[in-house]
Every structure is written in C-alpha cells, then in structure tokens.
C-alpha cells in the first residue's frame, strides 16, 4: 500500500479526558517511563533513563525555547482580541529581534469584531510605559498578517513578548496559563526562542539526569527545531495523502553534523522527542539531495512532505548523505544550516538515523502517532494499550516512553 493511502482511522485509540495530564508532576524526572525493547515492555521512571542507554551513547535534544506567543490586546471600545503569534514574515531570528515594528503570521480570536484601527496594550516596564499596537493585515489561509508597532522603539519584539505575552498551552489542556507554566512548559536546556509549543519529551530531564549521563560517558548534543502550532493540527482527512503537513524551521551547526556522522554505526544514537527525530531524518534527506545535486540552493534542499518516499533519495546510505551535506556546507562557506522541513514520517519509511526515541504519548489520529508507528511498527498499539492499562498520564504534561528500534 502506498503511504498516501494510509487511513488515519487505523492510527487512533480511545483517550479518556481523565488520562490527559492537566499539570506536570512536582518533580520533572519522577514521571513514568515506559521502556519498549525487542517487543518487551517494562515501567521505569525518567530519573532511571541512563540505565537503559549504552555507555558512550550520543543523545540529541531540541533546545528550542517556547515564546510567550499569546497576546490579549484591546479595541478602543474595550473589547478584547486574542492574537497568537505563529511565525514572523521573514527569518525567525530577525522577527524576534526587530525593534519598533515587525509583521507576523498570527491566529486571531474575535477577528470578526475587529473591523478597523489598531488593538492596543499598555504595560509598565523599568519605569516607563510600553505601548503595543497591532494592525490587522491580509488573510493568510486560516491565519492573518498582523503588523505590530510599539514604543519605546528600542525594545526588541522578544522583549515585548516577554513583557506582554502568555505561554500558549496546548488546547487539549483546556485551562488558562498559570505562572508556573512559564517554567514547567520549558525544558531546562531551552535556549533559542522560537517555538509556540514545547518539545515535551524533554520536559522530564533534570540536572541529576544529565549528571548520570556524564557518569556513563553519554554525550548530550543539541539541535534546534522551532515547534509550530501545526503540531496540534489533527488529521481530518480519511487518508494521510490528503493531509497538508505543517512546515517547521530548524537549525543545526556543522560541528553537530560532524558529530552525528562520525557516530554512525559507532555509538548508540538516541533522540529525545519527535522534533529531534524529524530534524535528523530531514538532514539525511537533505544530504541525499546534496549528493544528487551538489550545486543545489538551500531552497532546493529543503524537505517537502513526501520526500521520504522518493526511492532515488532513500537509495543513498546515511553516511554518504551526511558527508554530501557537510561538503555542501563547506562549499557554501557556512558553519550552520537553517532550513525548513515539511517531512511526514509514517509507516512505509525506514528510519535511518536513530536507534532509540524518547517521546511522550501522543494524541489519537495525529501525525506524531504516525511517526511512532513508523519507528516501532504495529507494536505502537501494544505500547499504547499497556500505557492505558497501567495508568500512564498522557500528552504534554504526562508520562513518556523510551522506544528502541528493532
């Protein structure tokens, strides 16, 4: 069966609302960890994760940082308008650090009542009044262009969001953001601003867990993929071939690529989160394109939804592909790769880059559940049935799993 013909109804399960964790546990690393290996399942906790990894393993984390992307501004009549900042219209870094004005792609709540003029907010910051105005621009699919302007103009948009914005919790938590979420909905290693959703598999890691890694010579490494709101987008079509996969931006250094390439077949490769796996497999496929077309532009190398299912690409082995991508970076005379991926990983594709995946439990009928099925095959049902039968907590603030590929 062609991957586009996969029916999403075959990748669903019954998730009672009571099993969705509305809040995290008091201690990050006390969450349950389901360990799946060679068809067998056992229960541990996250603080024991190093016991299951090989000495000298490479473990990859996504160090993106969730931005307080939810703004509540007001019309001159006093009515509230909610603006959810998705991504800047331009490069992400420049959008965060623009001063005085910037334009973003946004979701807007209450847009029908916002007919003209700006919506406004005012706050006090370091003894001065900060004023933010937002102007409604053209429609962009199911979102809008929003033009922001603020004073004092020497503040960056990142500072404006830090002052005025709220952390955008996943919609399935069905509650308002609380002050504690500013810390707990971030990983302890979050570094690069840009996500509107946390890479939640990493929420369970603590300084003690990292100390245990060091004692076992397990090397942490970091890539960046900025998680978009599309990660919560349900598959509403009958087959995944009709689903439009969301695109996300990622950034990796040349040094990280060298580390990954040198570790292939030499050390266990563990990835934390579906975002990290999506990035790694995108790098492999970009390398395949670079091998076929060494003079390609960055845009030519970027990954579309179905690139993983092109036999002329996947005939190339991972070592060769990553070497070609490193050569391409050398020719471009750059030490970092910033690109976009729309990759959809589903059964029918063989994972090339990872031996183990650490991930939370995902929503029914989601592309993230398809990714898990891509990684461990039909045993995804066995894993989820076990988790449901053994009182695991689900979704972003819930428990997680360590899945070993056969």
Residues 142 and 9 both lie in one domain: no
* Residue 178 within any structural domain of the chain: no
Claim to verify: residue 141 and residue 273 sit in the same structural domain: no
Question: Does a structural domain hold residue 179?
Answer: no
Contact 82, 109 (CB under 8 A): yes
Same domain, 124 and 194: no
The CATH number covering residue 393 comes to: 3.40.1780.10
- How confident is the model over 107-155, as pLDDT tens digits? 998 888 887 889 999 998 888 999 999 999 999 988 899 999 999 999 9
pLDDT one digit per residue (tens) for the chain, 406 residues: 789 999 999 999 999 999 999 999 999 999 999 999 999 999 999 999 999 999 999 999 999 999 999 999 998 888 899 999 988 887 665 678 899 999 999 999 888 888 788 999 999 888 899 999 999 999 998 889 999 999 999 999 989 999 999 998 988 898 989 999 999 999 999 999 889 899 999 999 999 999 999 999 999 999 999 988 777 677 889 999 999 888 888 999 999 999 999 988 899 999 999 999 999 999 999 999 999 999 999 999 999 999 999 999 999 999 999 999 999 999 999 999 999 999 999 999 999 999 999 999 999 999 999 999 999 999 999 999 999 999 999 999 999 999 999 7
Domain that holds residue 333: 3-65+185-404
Are residues 136 and 270 both part of a single domain? no
Residues 380 and 235 in one domain: yes
What's the number of domains the chain is made of?
A: 2
**Do 125 and 15 reside in the same domain of the chain?**
no
Same domain as 207, residue 158: no
Task: Compute the distance between CA of residue 84 and CA of residue 72 in angstroms, rounded to an integer.
Answer: 9
For the stretch 269-320, pLDDT in tens is 999 999 999 999 999 999 999 999 999 999 999 999 999 999 999 999 999 9
Indicate whether 216 and 228 sit together in one domain.
yes
Pair 82, 101 in one domain: yes
- The residue from 117, 135, 165 where one domain ends is 165
- Compute the distance between CA of residue 93 and CA of residue 79 in angstroms, rounded to an integer: 32
């Amino acid at each position: 069966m062609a991957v586009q013909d996969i029916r999403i109804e075959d990748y669903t399960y019954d998730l009672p609302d009571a099993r969705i964790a509305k809040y995290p546990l008091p201690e990050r690393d006390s969450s349950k960890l389901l360990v799946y290996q060679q068809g067998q399942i056992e229960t541990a906790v996250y603080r024991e994760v190093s016991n299951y990894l090989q000495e000298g393993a490479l473990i990859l984390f996504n160090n993106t940082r969730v931005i307080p992307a939810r703004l509540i501004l007001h019309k001159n009549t006093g009515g509230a308008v909610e603006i959810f900042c998705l991504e800047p219209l331009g490069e992400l870094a420049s959008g965060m650090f623009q001063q005085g004005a910037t334009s973003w792609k946004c979701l807007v709540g209450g847009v029908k009542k916002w007919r003209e003029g700006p919506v406004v907010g005012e706050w006090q910051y370091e003894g001065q009044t900060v004023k933010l105005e937002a102007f409604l621009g053209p429609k962009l699919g199911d979102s809008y262009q929003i033009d922001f302007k603020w004073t004092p103009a020497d503040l960056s948009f990142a500072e404006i969001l830090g002052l005025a914005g709220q952390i955008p919790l996943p919609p399935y938590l069905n509650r308002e953001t609380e002050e504690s979420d500013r810390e707990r909905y971030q990983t302890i290693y979050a570094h690069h601003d840009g996500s509107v959703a946390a890479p939640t598999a990493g929420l369970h890691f603590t300084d003690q867990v990292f100390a245990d890694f060091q004692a076992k010579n397990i090397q942490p490494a970091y890539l960046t993929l900025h998680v978009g709101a599309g990660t919560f987008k349900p598959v509403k079509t009958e087959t995944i071939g009709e689903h439009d996969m969301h695109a996300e931006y990622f950034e990796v250094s040349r040094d990280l690529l060298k580390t990954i390439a040198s570790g292939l077949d030499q050390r266990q490769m563990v990835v934390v989160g579906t975002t990290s796996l999506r990035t790694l497999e995108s790098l492999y496929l970009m390398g395949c394109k670079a091998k076929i077309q060494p003079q390609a532009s960055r845009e030519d190398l970027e990954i579309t939804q179905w690139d993983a299912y092109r036999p002329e690409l996947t005939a190339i082995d991972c070592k060769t592909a990553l070497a070609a991508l490193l050569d391409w970076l050398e020719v471009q005379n750059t030490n970092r790769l910033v690109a976009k991926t729309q990759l959809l990983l589903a059964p029918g594709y063989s994972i090339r880059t990872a031996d183990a995946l650490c991930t939370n439990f995902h929503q029914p009928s989601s592309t993230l559940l398809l990714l898990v099925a891509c990684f461990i095959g039909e045993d995804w049902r066995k894993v989820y049935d076990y988790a449901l039968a053994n009182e695991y907590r689900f979704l972003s603030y819930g428990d997680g799993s360590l899945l070993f590929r056969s």
